Amino acid sequence: MSNFRQDFIRFAVQQEVLRFGEFKTKAGRLSPYFFNAGLFNDGLALRSLSQFYAQAILTSGVPFDMLFGPAYKGIPLVAGTAIALVEQGRNVPYCYNRKEAKDHGEGGTTVGAPLQGCVLIIDDVISAGTSVRESIELIRATGAQPCGVVIALDRMERGQGELSATQEVQRNYGIPVVSIATLEDLLGYLHSEAGMVQNFPAVQTYRDRYGVKNE
């Protein structure tokens, strides 16, 4: 496990964004962990989170011309990631959408740079994939091309079928999904971290029961 992935898991635990216990998922499953990116809710946390996004993007090698953040959670994420990329020597434009089209002023459904070229979508997680689908449709409608999705944590968990939400996006749209960390990274962290190892058996059991292979 590369250092930035392990560092991200540790950071999420310290921020209490990643918690352990018993949590009911939208699918009705009892999960031994819960990840809520909305709890990265102060300036220092957002700066650190954005730096992790930038690191994941640059490590992935996915070519892109600009960033897009789906409203609402994607808005601070895309702005923060654009700033973090500048700090790494890469200045790119960014854009985000409105929930409702504006019919006065500059109008339109997006704010920021015009959508063009290869567009990388920045989001927190992929659950049902609705946000990604809407983003892809919006990007393609402008003549630009979605080239990938970047998320914070890939749960590597089966949906209604045998594929995870991440795998379904990759299959349905033919674009890569890059994550800062995955469930396998979380398991590696729990196994190696003395103060957290007690959570390893429950998470491993959940992975064995609901996880996908070859993520």
Catalytic residues: 102, 104
DSSP 107: -
Check: CB of residue 211 under 8 Å from CB of residue 29.
no
CA distance 107 to 156: 39
- What is the C-alpha separation between 99 and 28, in angstroms, rounded? 28
Q: Is the peptide bond before 53 cis (omega within 30 degrees of 0)?
A: no
Whole-angstrom distance, CA of residue 149 vs CA of residue 81: 13
Q: Give dist(CA 210, CA 131) in Å, integer.
A: 23
Handedness of CA 45, 12, 95, 105 (dihedral sign): negative
Backbone angles phi, psi at 14, to 5 degrees: -60, -35
Q: Which of 148, 149, 153 is nearest to 184 (CA)?
A: 153
**Cis amide linkage into residue 210, ω under 30° from 0:** no
